[in-house]
Structures are given as structure tokens and as C-alpha cells.
Amino acid sequence: MRKAEMLSFRRLVVCLFSLILILHGPVGCVPIDSSQTAISHPTTTMDQTTATTDTTTETSRTTTSMTTKESSLETSETSSPSSSESTSQTAQSSTTQSGTTKPTTTRQTTTKSSVTITATTTVRPTTGTTTAPPAPKPTQVPTTAPPTPTTAAVPSDFPAKNYGTFFRDDYGKNSQLVTSEDGSVTLDTGSSPYGVALIRIDPNLIPDNIRVKVLVIIGDLKYQYDIVKRGSFQGIPLQGSGSCSINVFKQIDASGTSLAQVMTHQYQVSLASSLKPYTAASILSDFSRGSASVRQAASLCSGISTQTGKVDAVYNWIVANIKYDTALSKSITTDKTKYETYLPDPDRTFSARKGICYDYASLMCAMLRSQGIPTRMIKGLVFGSSYHAWNEVFFEGYGWVVVASFRWKEINGTGWVLFDSTFAASGMTSEQISKTTHTKQRVY
């Protein structure tokens, strides 16, 4: 009798086990609930093949514990091309030393009435030895510079495009003037759609020995500028659209540490394009149609039909012709007032054939912007703690941006590419520059 009871019990267990297989599927398969696709998972940069994976595979990734290679995202713009290349690696599943996939446990919770039943399904390793697919290798930065590309090579993927330049000659068009109560400051907001607000300081009311500062607030962005020149409109960069507050202060003590507000004006900025601030002449890169640097850029870019070709011509000219001004660098760093008020002048740098990093970046802005190529000036840190200025240039197209015979970055549509003409002029190779960490703090 006891033996018969045991047989009945075993049959019951077999039936229950069969029922579990029918409900949950074969052992080792984890049922995927489409409602769980919103579960957050580690950010992974995927190559073009991985990006086409269907929704079911992506959901499986989100509901399964994985070990991924976190990608180093370009902020941007602060990562070097070498680091951006490495992010194209596809995250691979964690494997054991023998190549067998590690067991992954997924906990599923089922609620029935008021009782919560928790079932644990363990993904078992395959019985045979499974070799994990090799991870795709990142494109290696060439140790030697590739030959200069021909017109039919990579640059053909970036046809020349003029995004429109707002020269200093264009200041004052569509004027919308606002004047301070004492008449010392005049603000012209009519040029705001082109990326600059114009400010003029009356030299008779505020002479040049009294410091004047402008604080621009657009949303969460705050930028401060020293107005050195008197009697003419100066272009103040506007980094975006939205509610804008422009505040003007003047020095009221000998040390220059105490300032009094002269004027404040609030209005709405509506840029004609997000790229407009980076094709306009401004206080940090002042140029007109007759500027020597502009004429030089026009000569260099004449007959070139690609964007990469124009950037290559200007960049190489600056690197070959502008020397670093060590004496100026020392004089600025030892004079607090000069350090705080120094402004670059592209034509001064062009004429002197020398300057500091600020001058290099300003000159490259002027020359490329005059060709309608959006170019940003970046202020930030290099080598961890050293203040520096460099450029980022906008490209629209597909393929590798090749400038100075070096692959800087691969563009898939649009993107900004870092260039550091100061470092290049000092003798650093393109590869060394691309591997130097540039930490962005301000964009102009």
C-alpha cells in the first residue's frame, strides 16, 4: 500500500512539472513581458549593426542583468577623436574564462488575489562549450598621418555650404535701440536674430579708464564680458533663444572691485538659427568684410568645393604662419587687470603673426565664419588644470573629417569637430592633440 502511494505521488510530481513546462516554456528561456521595456539599463553606444536589432532583443537586454562597456560620450564636445572612436564598440555579454555564458537570474512576480507568489527562473549555461563572438575592434588612430585626401575622397562627403555670415558691417541694420537713463549706454537688440546684441558706451560719460562689464543671462546660461572700446557698437554673443536679461555695470572705485548697475534690459531672443551665433562677428572675434584676415580666408578658400577642404586650408595656414607669443602670455598672467580685460583681435594677430591661445581661436573663428562656416570658440581646461582656448567646427555630411591629413572624427549627419591650432603650431601632432583631454567650460 505504501509503495502504491509513493507511485501516485511521483506521478503527481511529473504532472506538475509538465504543467510548469507548458506554462513557462523550456528551461533556460526567460519569458519577456513587453510592459517591462521601460526599465532603465546602462547606456550603451551601439554600432550601426547593433542599432538595427529588433524590439524583442532590446527588451531582453533591459530585463536581463548584463555587463556592459559604458561608453565615453563626447560632451560637447570635450572628448578627443580617439576616445569617440572607441565608443563604437558594441557591449558584449559577460562570459566565463571557458567562454560559457554566465548564468543570469531574472525574478518574476505574479500576483493572484492578495497573495504574492515569487517564482525564480535560472538561465542555465549551455551544455557544450560556447565561444562568445569577438568584440568588434575600434578603429585605431593611425600612428602615421595618412596621405592628404584627394577631392574625390572623404571630403567629397562634405560639400561646401555657406550658412551666412553676419559681419561687423551689418551691425545697426533693423536697429531697436534702448538707452540707459543717464545716456551712457545704448543697447541695440535688432541684431539678436543673428546671434549678437550690440552695446555702445559713450566715451564722454564713461571714459576708458573706468571698467564696464556686461552680464548676459539667457535661461540658465550666464556670460560676462568686459567692454574695452568706446564710441562704437560691440557685438555681445547670444548663446541661445529665450528670455534674455542684459545688465551693464561700471566701476565706482579705484580697485575696480565695486560696480554699480547702469542699465538692465529684458527681452525675448529668437535666433534665426541655432548656428547664427557661430557665424557672426562679435567682441571675441571681430571682423568686417574688409578685414585682412577675411581677405586671406577668401584667397585660401577660392575654388575649393568641400567644407573639409576650406577648413583644411585655413587651419594649415594658421598653424604655419602664427607663432605663440610667450612674452604676451607672461605679461598677461602677471597683470591681473590685463588678464581680466584682454580681448583678442583677429586682424592684430594676423598682422603681428603671433598671439596666445585666445588669439589663435579668435582668428580661426573670424576666417572660417567669414566663409559662412559655423565655428565656435571654446574656453576650458587642458591637462586637468590649465586654462586654454580652442575651436569646434560644424560639419554636415557623412564620413571622416580629414584635416591636416588626419582623421579627426566620423560624422553621420551633423556634428562639431575639435581643432586646436595653438597646440598644432607648437609642434604637437594631430594624433597627440586628439588624445589630449579638452574640458569645455564656455562656448562662444
Q: 10 in a domain, yes or no?
A: no
Kindly state whether residue 12 falls inside one of the protein's structural domains.
no
- Domain total in the chain: 2
411/267 same-domain check: no
- Grid coordinates 571675441 are at which residue? 284
Q: Is 334 inside any structural domain? A: yes
Do 273 and 312 lie in one domain? The reply is no
Domain assignment present for 246: yes
Domain-terminating residue out of 241, 260, 278? 278
Pair 296, 274 in one domain: no
| pLDDT one digit per residue (tens) for the chain, 444 residues | 444 555 455 555 444 444 433 333 333 332 333 333 232 333 333 333 333 333 333 333 333 333 333 333 233 333 333 333 333 333 333 333 333 333 333 333 333 333 332 333 333 333 333 333 333 333 233 333 333 333 333 434 799 999 999 999 999 989 999 999 999 999 999 999 999 999 999 999 999 999 999 999 999 999 999 999 999 999 999 999 999 999 999 999 887 779 999 999 999 999 999 999 999 999 999 999 999 999 999 999 999 999 999 999 999 999 999 999 999 999 998 888 888 889 999 999 999 999 999 999 999 999 999 999 999 999 999 998 899 999 999 999 999 999 999 999 999 999 999 999 999 999 999 999 999 999 999 999
Residues 226, 325 share a domain:
no
Q: Are residues 431 and 307 in the same domain?
A: yes
Q: Which domain holds residue 433?
A: 156-164+288-443
Examine residue 234 and state whether it is found in any structural domain, yes or no.
yes
pLDDT of residue 157: 76
* Residue 136: inside a domain: no
CATH number, position 327: 3.10.620.30
Q: Does some domain include residue 96?
A: no
pLDDT at 333: 87
Per DSSP, the three-state class of 226 is strand
Question: For residue 253, what pLDDT is reported?
Answer: 87
pLDDT at position 351 is 97
CATH number at residue 212: 2.60.40.10
pLDDT at 19: 41
List CB contacts of 114: < 8 A, sequence separation 6 or more.
Answer: none
Closest CA to 393 of 308, 320, 316, 297: 308
In terms of phi and psi (left: phi > 0; alpha: psi -120 to 50; beta: otherwise), the region of 267 is beta
Are 346 and 367 in contact, with CB atoms under 8 Å apart? yes
Is residue 402 domain-shared with residue 425, that is, in the same domain? yes
Question: Do 210 and 297 lie in a common domain?
Answer: no
Q: Which of 278, 304, 331 is a domain's end point?
A: 278
What span, in angstroms and rounded, lies between the C-alpha atoms of 436 and 423?
Answer: 10
Element (H, E) at 62: helix 55-63
Strands 177-179 and 115-122: unpaired
Task: Give the global pTM.
Answer: 0.66
Q: Measuring CA to CA, how many Å separate 239 from each of 169, 197, 199, 271, 372? A: 21, 11, 16, 9, 18
Tell me, yes or no, whether 323 and 247 share the same domain: no
Among the candidates 231, 251, 278, a domain finishes at 278
Helix intervals (H) in 267-371: 292-301, 307-321, 326-333, 336-341, 346-352, 357-369
If asked whether residues 254 and 363 sit together in one domain, one would say no
Are 243 and 222 within one domain? yes
Listed as own residue / partner, the contacts of 302-305 with beta carbons closer than 8 Å and 24 or more positions apart are 304/160, 305/151, 305/159, 305/160
Residues 372 and 386 in one domain: yes
**Residue 19: which residues within 8 A CB-CB, separation 6 or more?**
none
Look at residue 307 and tell me if it is in a domain: yes
Q: Dig out the grid coordinates for 328 from the structure.
A: 604676451
Q: Are residues 439 and 292 in the same domain?
A: yes
Please tell me the predicted confidence (pLDDT) of residue 11. 57
Per-residue pLDDT, 227: 96
